[in-house]
Amino acid sequence: MDPVRSEAAADVELPPRSLIASDRVIGTEVRRIDGSKVGRIERLMLDKRSGRVAYAVMSFGGFLGMGEEYYTLPWAVLRYDTGLDAYVVDITEAQLRDAPARSPEGGDPEDERAWEEHVHRYYNAAPYWGI
């Protein structure tokens, strides 16, 4: 091994890894841009063919797991904020309350394309399946 090449490689700062295990995403808080809490991620919905994350099912409201509502957010509307250690979404409480609700199980999106199209239009998000 060339010691000069190894020394030069050690000086190069690598970008932070962008991969994360799905079990580490579950339970992560979802916040607004101002840092206020919206909910937490309960489940991820994956596209079986592409392997991409299509949605995050988020819990909202309730207390100690009772009375919670569940909303399916297109993955494209969430972004991870390292400073908040949370996923951030630009949505008001009123918009969220009017959003299409969902069960914590989510359902099989392949069987519900019309519902998916409605959700993507509601959040003004590009569809994950690429129309």
Residue 2: predicted pLDDT: 52
- Indicate whether this model's pTM tops 0.95: no
Q: What is the pLDDT of residues 60-82, one digit of tens each?
A: 876 665 677 888 899 999 999 99
The CATH code for residues 19-122 is 2.30.30.240
- Which stretches does DSSP call E strand in the chain? 29-31, 37-46, 53-60, 69-74, 79-81, 86-88, 101-102
Whole-number Å distance between alpha carbons of 117 and 125: 10
Give the pLDDT band of residue 116 (cuts 50, 70, 90): confident
Residue 71: predicted pLDDT: 86
C-alpha dist (Å) from residue 30 to 5, 10, 13, 90? 43, 36, 30, 10
Burial class (CB in 10 A: 0-12, 13-18, 19+), 71: buried
Q: In this structure, are residues 68 and 62 in contact, taking their beta carbons and an 8 Å threshold?
A: yes
| Domain locations along the chain | 19-122
Q: What is the mean pLDDT of residues 1-5?
A: 51
Asked whether the predicted pLDDT for residue 120 surpasses 80, the reply is: yes
